Structure 1
Amino acid sequence: MLKSVLFDIDGTITDTNPIFLDAIVHTHYEMTGQQKNREFFHFSLGIPSPVTMGILEIPQDIRVPYIQRWQEHIKEKMHEVVLFPGIVTVLESLKEWGLSMALVTSKVRSEFSFQFDTFGLNHFFQVVICADDAPRPKPNPDPLYEACSRLKVKPRDTVYVGDSRYDIMAAKAAGIPFLFASWGSIDPNSVLELYPEFYLKEPIEILDVVQKKT
């Protein structure tokens, strides 16, 4: 029986992926002198910023200022970010139905605070799991296990809503059914090739799945 719903944030609740990509394009050029396009950085959506530094092979001595500059560019554009249509209705309905909810994100805690608090949605979630709250971040299952532990539910009694390949990999590793939030996905084919249990075109469809599983 479904008792809770776990959510990713970026590309699932908030339409942040485009500004994240623009921010890292600018930052990378400033810090390295290398001009790359948006597509080059698609891999960075859904993993912690320190992991991105490793994949990009950024020298150790500039990783901290690189991340700081990246976050500064994001802050400059956060006022442009909107919630996906219907997501508030979904959260209100799930709360009314008595389901517990958690956020499971690859942001570190400091990034979460300035990137999410302003939307006024924190009261819907009993638990927030950031990248620094689990031994290993997504695509490992650890953050989802941690969320289940804090909510006191078993993986089979929840679902995870997310938009990225890392999200579905984590869900499958944890044995949690995955609801693919296609409305915010930058690279949907990379998710579809892993066969999500549910393919959703808009947030309101989350409620249909929940009703069938409760």
Structure 2
Amino acid sequence: MTKIIIFDFDGTLADTIPISINILKNLASKYYHKTIDEKLIKKLRNKSIPEIFKELDISIIKLPFIARKARKELNKEIANLKPIKGISEILNQLKKQKIILGIVSSNSKESIIKFLEVNNLNIFNFIYTNSRIFGKANNLKRLLRRNKWNIENTIYIGDEIRDIEAAKKTGIKIISVAWGVNSLKKLAQYHPDILVKSPQELLTRLQSIIK
């Protein structure tokens, strides 16, 4: 029986994609004189982070700088962000089933807590954050080790390629959701354990695993 379900935050729980796209457009224009239109955005959803930087002709060593700037701008809007439609009902249903719920994210803990308070979602058992973009595998391993959780009883849910990679390095099951950063097609190429298109499908698959 699965007892621990860990969620990514941006794009998985919180509907951050529209504001994140605007932030990316502004940063690319301001610092690198790059124009990002809707056609390019669609193309970028089919790429990993290194591939995105290559497509934009921006050095990957600039990633920490851009991530800090983007996070700062996103956090200014945190009180206005809403959950992905349908996700609140899923979380409340899981909580009723006494599932341990957690968040692992590269966003700030303060911002996540504020989002949860504004949207009446103070139901998580833990929130673990680390600003390193590619540090999720270590974070997940540390959580499992510290709490002595069995990897067979743990599921991670995320919307990006790096979520799949982190879960696989940790040895836990990964459910990828196709409503966030990376497209359904791109996520499928990285072979998550389960790939879902909607929150309702996510709930259905979770219930089948939990039973």
**TM-score exceeds 0.5:** yes
* Secondary structure of 1:204's aligned partner: helix
Does the CA-based 8 Å contact 1:17-1:186 persist in structure 2? no
* Secondary structure of 2:101's aligned partner: strand
Deviation at 1:32, TM superposition (A): 3.5
Q: Please give the alpha-carbon distance, in whole angstroms, between the structure 2 residues aligned to 1:147 and 1:67.
A: 24
Deviation at 1:201, TM superposition (A): 2.0
Does the CA-based 8 Å contact 1:3-1:158 persist in structure 2? yes
Runs of 5+ unmatched residues, structure 2: 50-57
Structure 1 residues 149-184: Cα deviation after superposition (integer angstroms, max 9, x where no partner): 455422211111111101111111111111121133
Matched, 1:137 2:135: yes
- Identity, in percent, stands at 22
The corresponding residue for 2:164 is 168
Q: Please give the alpha-carbon distance, in whole angstroms, between the structure 1 residues aligned to 2:130 and 2:63.
A: 22
Deviation at 1:193, TM superposition (A): 0.6
Q: Please give the alpha-carbon distance, in whole angstroms, between the structure 2 residues aligned to 1:159 and 1:18.
A: 27
Does the CA-based 8 Å contact 2:155-2:173 persist in structure 1? yes
- How large is the RMSD of aligned CA atoms in angstroms? 3.2
Matched, 1:180 2:179: no
Classify 1:68/1:213 alpha carbon distance in 2 versus 1 (closer, same or farther; 3 Å): closer
Q: Please give the alpha-carbon distance, in whole angstroms, between the structure 2 residues aligned to 1:59 and 1:162.
A: 20
What one-letter code is carried by the residue in structure 1 that aligns with 2:135?
Answer: P
TM-score scaled to structure 2, two decimals? 0.76
What aligned pairs does 1:102-141 form with structure 2 within 5 A after superposition? 102-109=102-109, 112=112, 117-121=117-121, 123-132=122-131, 137-138=135-136, 141=137
TM-score scaled to structure 1, two decimals? 0.75
Structure 1 residues 36-65: Cα deviation after superposition (integer angstroms, max 9, x where no partner): 4453865687xxxxxxxx9544499xx4xx
What one-letter code is carried by the residue in structure 2 that aligns with 1:7?
Answer: F
Q: Please give the alpha-carbon distance, in whole angstroms, between the structure 2 residues aligned to 1:169 and 1:7.
A: 15
Q: Please give the alpha-carbon distance, in whole angstroms, between the structure 2 residues aligned to 1:150 and 1:59.
A: 30
Q: Please give the alpha-carbon distance, in whole angstroms, between the structure 1 residues aligned to 2:207 and 2:135.
A: 30
* Secondary structure of 1:124's aligned partner: coil
* Secondary structure of 1:184's aligned partner: coil
Runs of 5+ unmatched residues, structure 1: 46-53
Does the CA-based 8 Å contact 2:15-2:81 persist in structure 1? yes
Classify 1:110/1:57 alpha carbon distance in 2 versus 1 (closer, same or farther; 3 Å): farther
